[in-house]
Amino acid sequence: MSLNGKVALVTGGAQGIGRAVVHSLLQSSVKVTMVDLNKTCGEECKAQLDAEFGEGNCNFIACDVSDGEALRDAFQSTVNMFGQLDIVINNAGINNEKNWEKTIQVNLTSVIKGTYLAMEHMSKEYGKKGGIIINVSSMAAFLHSPHQPVYTATKHGVIGFTRAMAVRHTHRTLHASSSTDSCSIFRGTHTSLRFNS
């Protein structure tokens, strides 16, 4: 799939891996919405990216991905601004073993919600052109870190969910891949769903 002219939404897009992904997508002529909880960081990142790539190529939406309605609004705002959605990267994540329920909401529940929202906006099943979903996991899914059991469980969950979705949608030309450090912009593991486009 050629990336030129495509539109992407990246959660956790204003810092870390997400920011590197956003930068790489912009270098490939993709229009990008960064979704991030940190408003200050997001606005600073957008200003820097606007200076480098020109205004109108990057959008920032302050959003807590654990808030399902706010996440839904971020998807719709992206389509309203850019007219389409082709790539979704569910990257947002936290590591807080004390507030483990929030860790589950951000690391796993928002990935599930983001995947279903992506399908609504991209799947041929919904009359769309198709697209790609990448759900970012972590090496913790394979290393079984005893000091972060909830984080580890959420990252196992991301891989299991994505693989199950890929099998479930095989007849709809939905494909999955899983790899470790397969792309220079990812430091961990990602699993992806792809709709033929």
104 burial type by CB count under 10 A (0-12 exposed, 13-18 middle, 19+ buried) = middle
Give the contacts of 4 (CB within 8 A, at least 6 positions apart).
28, 29, 30
Identified catalytic residue from 151, 190, 191, 193 = 151
The tens-digit pLDDT sequence of the chain (197 residues) is 579 999 999 999 999 999 999 999 999 999 999 999 999 999 999 999 999 999 999 999 999 999 999 999 999 999 999 999 999 999 999 999 999 999 999 999 999 999 999 999 998 888 888 889 999 998 887 787 889 999 999 999 999 999 898 887 655 544 343 333 334 444 444 455 555 43
pLDDT in tens, 38-85: 999 999 999 999 999 999 999 999 999 999 999 999 999 999 999 999
Fold of the domain spanning 7-195: Rossmann fold (3.40.50)
Give the contacts of 130 (CB within 8 A, at least 6 positions apart).
122, 123, 124, 173, 194, 195, 196, 197
Catalytic site includes residue 151: yes
Domain definitions of the chain by residue range: 7-195
pLDDT at position 172 is: 52
Q: Which of 117, 20, 19 lies closest to 68, judged by CA?
A: 117
pLDDT in tens, 33-46: 999 999 999 999 99
Kindly report the pTM of this predicted structure.
Answer: 0.88
